[in-house]
Amino acid sequence: PELERLRPLLHHVAVLSQLRPGSPPELQLGLLQLLTPILRMISNCLAMTNYMETTTHQETQQNPRLLFNRMPEDRFLAWMTVADRKIMKRSPRRMRPNVTVAIDGSGNYTAISEAVKMAPNMSLSRYVIHIKAGIYKDSVVIPREKVNLMLVGDGMNFTVITGSKNFVDGFSTFTSATLTVVGDKFLARDLTIINTSGPEKHQAVALRVTSNAAFYHCEIISYQDTLYAHSLRQFYRECTIQGTIDFIFGNAAAIFQNCLILVRKPGRGQNNMVTAQGRQDPNQNTGISLQNCTITAALGLTMAERSNFSTFLGRPWRNYSRTAIMKSFLGDLIHPQGWCKWNEYSTLETVEYIEYMNFGPGSDTRQRVNWAGYRSNYSEDIERQFTVGAFLHGADDWLESSVFPLFGTSQARRMQ
């Protein structure tokens, strides 16, 4: 269990990404020199952990009883309580929140940030904030001390959180999000999160998540860098995500199930990249997994407009980038090559890109890239590696107890 806790540390040393544009080069160099030996040590520990896990798996194939002697009791945070199950079973209208936010003054607060600020710190039980229908112009941060927080809206397109921070106006990618989640054990459902900056503003994040978190029936909208799945373990179910360049990116272990992924019109001279995964070390159990999703053009994007740009499934943000797309519908706007390199200096030998049992006009893999790490229709073993139980290291248990519907391996569990 102690070694298992090392995995998130590799995420937290991504301090360089938090520096504002124009930070002194000597500061960046100093941080890099400080972090390099720490990263090397953590990487070595993870390599040993992965070796022991592989050995244990081989032994338990021969003697299953060994599994129960060696399996840690808490592979994942068992934070979904009985109360959580009841909350997730109810429709938003039948919930009993701790407080209500209403822009018309009919609730406890008129601003989401105010309600978050007044929520208890390090709560041991679920604290529910109901956000009534309305448009909330508010950059919301769920800080580290706000644990077990849940935001519940009145539905996508009804409860809307909107902001407009972006790179051109002086915000880094890391600080531009409309909703930032750092507090652990976070849940959200039935709301829309938008960054209204246009494509000319470049990086403009709608949602950044730096915690163990799950989202259900949420809509996340921007252009470049829409959803920053920064770190730790994340689950998205029946969400809608819209964007252009690298609009699902980061280095979390992030699973997207039954999500609608809509490609928008990019800026002049730009091409679209659905994903940009940032795995930095081969021993990190991180990546992006899309299961039973739909990737297609956003409403109003005409065939004539599509001829001006190309759309790729993703590109490698870091050397060990890892993305799997499985049993999903790929629309006709997907480029035949499927994947694109980051730039002319990209290291392609160590990336891992997988397509498995996809369908639709964009799913033909005959003209796909010939990179060493690209695989298509490989095997069910590959599929199992990228489902909830394996990829999120035991998250199957807490997600099931929350009554989030999910596919554990290949079978669906539905909300009751």
Give the whole-angstrom CA distance, residue 247 versus residue 243.
5
- Our answer to whether residue 225 is catalytic in this structure is no
DSSP, residue by residue, 107-136: SSBS-HHHHHHHSPTT-SS-EEEEE-SEEE
For every residue of 309-336, which 3-state class applies, written as one string?
CCEEEECCCCCCCEEEEECCEECCCECC
Residue 303: half-sphere exposure toward Cβ, Cα within 13 Å: 1
Supply the DSSP symbol for 171. -
For every residue of 66-110, which 3-state class applies, written as one string?
HHHHHCCCCCCCCCCCHHHHHHHHCCHHHCCCCEEECCCCCCCEC
Two tokens, residue 279: 């795995």
Rg (the chain; Cα; Å): 21
Catalytic residue among 246, 281, 332, 381: 246
Two tokens, residue 198: 């246009």
Give the whole-angstrom CA distance, residue 120 versus residue 118.
6
- For residue 286, give the 3-state DSSP assignment: coil
Contact 107, 152 (CB under 8 A): no
Give the whole-angstrom CA distance, residue 183 versus residue 128.
14
Query: Is the C-alpha dihedral spanning 300, 302, 308, 313 positive or negative?
Result: positive
Please list, residue by residue across 355-380, b when 16 or more beta carbons sit within 10 angstroms of its beta carbon and e when fewer do.
bbebeeebbeeeebbebebbbbeeee
Q: Token pair 């021993």 is at which residue?
A: 283
Contact 135, 110 (CB under 8 A): no
Contacts of 369 (CB under 8 A, 6+ apart): 337, 338, 339, 353
Active site residues: 246
